[in-house]
Structure formats: structure tokens, C-alpha cells
Amino acid sequence: MKRITAFLIGLLTGAVVVGAAGTATYYGYVRPRHLAEVKREAEKDAADRSSLSLRVSDLTKDLQAADKKLPVQPGQTSVNKLSETAEAQLTKKLQAEQFVGTVLLVRNGTIIYHQGIGYADAAKKRLNTVKSIYQIGSTQKSLTAIALAQLIQAGKVHYGDNIHQYYSQIPASHNITIREMLNMRSGLIYTLGAPKTVLTDDQVIQRSLDNLTYDADFHGKQNYQAVNFVLLAGIIEKISGQSYEQYITQHLFQPLQLTNTQAGFAWNFAQQPNRTVSYVAKDGIGTYDKTITENLADMRGELGTGNIYTTPYALYRLERAIIQGKYTSTAAVAELRDTTDGQYGGGVYNFPTYVYSHGVKNYQELVFTMSDDGNTAAILMTNRAYDYNNALPRARWYYHFAQTAELATEVTKS
């Protein structure tokens, strides 16, 4: 019994001694080393975080510096390179016309003035800017014409072809040529207003065919009739196998990488952030009191004319691309626009050194003039059409101003 008691006492004593030694070892050696390691890891982690923060800060600074070095894309910001005198002259002219919209003036390939004026949406106090979009009205015919010129250059149709093979039901179709339709000399007349229901392209063409007339007295004489371009758009569809919208988008908009925010068709207009509300200018007094909203039936009521919108700069790029041979050869453009005496030819009015176009749709107006090399232009787009019966004199004034206005600084090509 005494031996057992002694054994147990010895065992307990040993346990106490070992425990004390272990405790002493932990607190005397293990724990300090562990704490030191934890501290080192914490300091390393803090250093890593600090280093990462510095790298992020440096990267942010580098990116900001790079952004400052990147050139601003032309046409996306307001520009005013006019002298104070020239600016005052332009402002006086615009105020006299009660102008509301966007003005783009380009000289020798460089934007010298690009500003929004007035409200895009007065109710929401949203101003017009250089990115505002407007309907281009009849100027769309210049796009229809170059689309047809592409097919002519490809040998799929010819200027001298008569339209009987496409529209045999038209009176005198054996004698009316593609050229005559492009130059508004076909003798075809169409006076029916916009449809009340939404029509397909085929229905628009058929409605035109059912309601047009032919006047032999006007055959060979210039007589502006939009129906010529409705039917030409139909020929583009027949030859290409694409809808007019598909063809224009693929062959004209996409090569310039134009998005719906820059150019598109009227039925997509209302969804765009930079859309403009149309206002009525009544009795020569421009106000924001009365708005006009175009319905889908009217938007779809024509084909090849009157249902495209763009920004002023997008239109400049499109028309410059036409003139400079980006869509066809320059020789093909010259053949398309075969007049030089101010007569209508190939979708525009052609003068010896410049082309002119005018479009009005839903109280939005475009006045457009461009040099024959595509480098100098005056483009005014408004969402409150005012004096559109005097469009050509106005266009000439702004074009001359773009050519001659005094600049505040030396113009460098952008």
C-alpha cells in the first residue's frame, strides 16, 4: 500500500515538474518566438499593402497623365477658334434668325466653330450640344444616291438603264432612266400626303406607284419630286437583296464606325440620349411653347428620303467620305454629280466649287454646304425651323463665313 502511495505521489510530482518545465519553455521560448513571427508577418502585410497602395496611386497618375496626352476626338467637344470680332458677327446673324440648334463650321479640314445653341428639350432644361442629333430630311437623298452609285460602279445597274425592268407599271417607264430620276427630270409627280398607318418598304413603294402621275411636259426638265428617290431606294433593295436600312447601315454608317448615337433611322431617334424636341416657330417668333411629335406612320411613310438623323459632325463625315471617294472612286462621284451650274444632280445641288443641300422634317431643318474637296463646310441643324424658304442665301452666307472669318489663333489641322 505504501509503495502504491509513493508511486502516485511520484507520478503527480513528475507531472507537476514536467508541466512547469513545459510552461516555462512556452513562455520563455516558444511564445516570444511566435509573437515575434506574428509581428513580422503583420509588418510585412502592412508593407505589402502600403506598396500596393503606392502602385495603385502611381498607376492612377500614369493613366491620368496618359488621358491628358491622348488627343480629343474631333467633333465631340465644343470648339470656338473665332476672333472676338468674328464671333460677334456670327452671333448677330444667328440671333437674327432666332437660331436654336448646333452649328458646325470647318475650314481646310479643321473645325473652327462647333457649338450648341438653345434647348434640345426646354421642359427638361436640356441644352443643345455638339452631340445633339437632328433629322436631316431631304439631305438623305445624297446618301441614297451614293448607295446607288456603289451598285453602278459594281456593274449591277447603269445610269442609262430605263426603269421599265423595275417598275413596268409606270407610264413611259421605257423612256425614263435612272439618271433622270437621280436628277429630278423624270416627269414623275406625286402629291399624296403621309400615310395614316405604318407601312413596310414594299407598301411604301406600291403606294407611290399607285398614286404617282407622269407629266410629259416635265420629262427632261428639273422638277423636284421626292418620289424619284423613293423608287430609287426600291431599286437598291431589289438589286442588293437587303432592306434600304440594312444597306445604308452596312455600307455607309459602319465603314465610318457611326453608332446610333451619331446616325440612324427615325424610328430609333426617340431612344437616343441626345435627341432633340421639335419646336414650332410661328409668325417669325421663335418660342418653346409648341412642340411637334412625329408618329411612326410618318417616319415610315417615305423610303430613301426623310427618315435619317445624324449629328452635324456625323453628317460632315458622311458627306466628306462621299466627296473624297471613300465609298466609290472620285471619278464615280463626279459621274454621279454631273451638274456644276447649281442644278440638282445625284442627291445635291452642284455649284462650280461646292455642293449644297437643304432638309426639313418635323420642324427640324438642315442647311448644308461643302467644298468640292470635302474639307470646308458649313452645317447648321435646328430643332426649331424658322426661315427655311431662304435656305440657299443663308447657306451661302455661312459657307462664306467659314471660309473667311478671322480666327483668334493659327489654325492647325486636327
- Give, to the nearest 10 degrees, the angle between helix 84-96 and helix 391-404: 170
Residue 153 is predicted with a pLDDT of: 98
pLDDT score for 405: 98
Q: Residues 409, 411, 414, CA angle at the centre, nearest 5°?
A: 130
* First-last CA distance in the chain: 110
Distances in whole angstroms, Cα of residue 224 to Cα of each of 27, 206, 232: 103, 20, 14
What pLDDT is recorded for position 74? Answer: 82
For residue 166, is pLDDT > 50? Answer: yes
Question: How confident is the prediction for the chain on average, in pLDDT?
Answer: 87
pLDDT of residue 411: 47
Report residue 157's pLDDT band, with 50, 70 and 90 as the boundaries.
Answer: very high
Structural contact between residues 370 and 325, judged by C-beta atoms closer than 8 angstroms? no
Beta bridge mates, 75: none
Q: What is the per-residue pLDDT for 281?
A: 81
**So what's the pLDDT on residue 328?**
98
Q: What is the mean pLDDT of residues 352-371?
A: 97
Residue 273: predicted pLDDT:
97
| Amino acid found at 299 | M
Which of 5-14, 187-196, 326-335 is predicted with the least confidence, judged by mean pLDDT?
5-14
pLDDT classification of 47: cutoffs 50, 70, 90: low
pLDDT in tens, 264-293: 999 999 999 999 999 998 766 678 989 999
Q: In percent, how much of the chain has pLDDT > 70?
A: 81
Measured CA to CA in angstroms, residue 184 lies from 189, 222, 357, 365 at distances of 10, 5, 14, 21
If one counts every other C-beta atom within 10 angstroms of the C-beta of residue 315, the result is 28
Model pLDDT, residue 282: 73
pLDDT of residue 286: 72
In a 10 Å sphere around its CB, with 0-12 CB exposed, 13-18 middle and 19+ buried, how is residue 336 labelled? buried
Which parts of 250-390 fold into alpha helices (H)? Answer: 296-299, 312-323, 330-336
pLDDT in tens, 106-151: 999 999 999 999 999 999 999 999 999 999 999 999 999 999 999 9
75 and 313 in contact (C-beta within 8 Å)? yes
Residue 145: name the closest of 380, 357, 396 by CA. 357
The pLDDT assigned to 9 comes to 47
Q: Answer for the pair 403, 377: CB distance below 8 angstroms, yes or no.
A: no
> Tell me, what amino acid is at 104?
L
pLDDT of residue 412: 42
**What is residue 43's predicted lDDT score, i.e. its pLDDT?**
63
| Residue corresponding to grid cell 480666327 | 407
Three-state DSSP class for residue 327: coil
The per-residue pLDDT for 356 is 98
Distance CA 384, CA 139 (A): 17
User: What is the pLDDT at residue 164?
Assistant: 96
- Report the share of the chain in percent with pLDDT over 90: 76
Alpha carbon distance 375, 343 (integer Å): 22
